[in-house]
């Protein structure tokens, strides 16, 4: 696997390194040892799938606060998404900054999202599936969110929002 730092410290873009033969290819998408060598959280407590029928669907911006803060490894297994993270760590030089990248089934890229980041995505195609490896079990009492359109962050989404849950719509603007 190839690990590339992104502009927000602690987050990484991860690419598989396929070995090809007449059948196609084989590649690792997870290695506890490789994550550990880089000081990354290698605990996987839960895996989840998000299936979205309509292009333009927006999910976010979600996070879990302490004591159940979570690290996520996000991959688009069908279709395409614009994946976004926001650094909510007050001591970070990138506090309240965002980063977005296109993850697709075709490019097989993954985004490592550390604790202290809000995460969300917008679907770029119909029938999009997103696969998550998550370091902590979901805990409703620790589940939080901030607005997807909070002017403090200034996230530029690629499409008009076609579907947004009532929960995501009700999140407050972030107060630093």
Q: Quick one: pLDDT at residue 130?
A: 98
pLDDT, tens only, 89-101:
999 999 999 999 9
Distance CA 112, CA 72 (A): 6
Domain locations along the chain: 43-170
Which contiguous run of DSSP H or E holds residue 81?
Answer: strand 80-87
Q: What is the pLDDT of residue 30?
A: 95
What is the reported pLDDT for 104?
98
* Choices 2.60.120.10, 3.40.50.2300, 2.40.50.140, 3.40.50.360: CATH for 43-170: 2.60.120.10
DSSP state of 161: -
Q: Around 26, how many Cα atoms within 13 Å sit in the side-chain half-sphere? A: 3
Question: Which phi and psi (to 5°) does residue 2 adopt?
Answer: -110, 120
Residue 152, pLDDT score: 98
Q: What's the CA gap between 151 and 13, in Å, rounded?
A: 26
Tell me the pLDDT tens digit for each residue of 104-158. Answer: 999 999 999 999 999 999 999 999 999 999 999 999 999 999 999 999 999 999 9
Secondary structure, 3-state, 89-104: CCCCCCCCCEEEEEEE
Give 87's pLDDT tier (boundaries 50, 70, 90): very high
> What pLDDT is recorded for position 153?
98
Catalytic residues: 62, 132
Give the per-residue pLDDT at 7: 97
């Amino acid at each position: 696997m190839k690990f590339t730092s992104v502009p927000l410290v602690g987050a990484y873009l991860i690419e598989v390194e396929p070995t090809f033969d007449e059948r196609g290819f084989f590649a690792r998408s997870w290695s506890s040892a490789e994550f550990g060598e880089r000081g990354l959280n290698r605990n996987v407590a839960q895996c989840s799938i998000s299936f979205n029928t309509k292009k333009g669907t927006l999910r976010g911006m979600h996070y879990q606060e302490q004591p159940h803060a979570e690290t996520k490894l996000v991959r688009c297994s069908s279709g395409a998404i614009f994946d976004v993270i926001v650094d909510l760590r007050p001591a970070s030089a990138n506090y309240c900054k965002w980063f977005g990248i296109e993850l697709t089934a075709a490019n097989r890229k993954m985004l490592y999202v550390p604790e202290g980041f809000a995460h969300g995505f917008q679907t770029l195609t119909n029938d999009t599936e997103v696969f998550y490896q998550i370091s902590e079990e979901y805990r409703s009492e620790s589940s939080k969110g901030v607005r997807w359109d909070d002017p403090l962050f200034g996230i530029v989404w690629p499409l008009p929002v076609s579907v947004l849950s009532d929960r995501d719509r009700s999140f407050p603007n972030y107060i630093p």
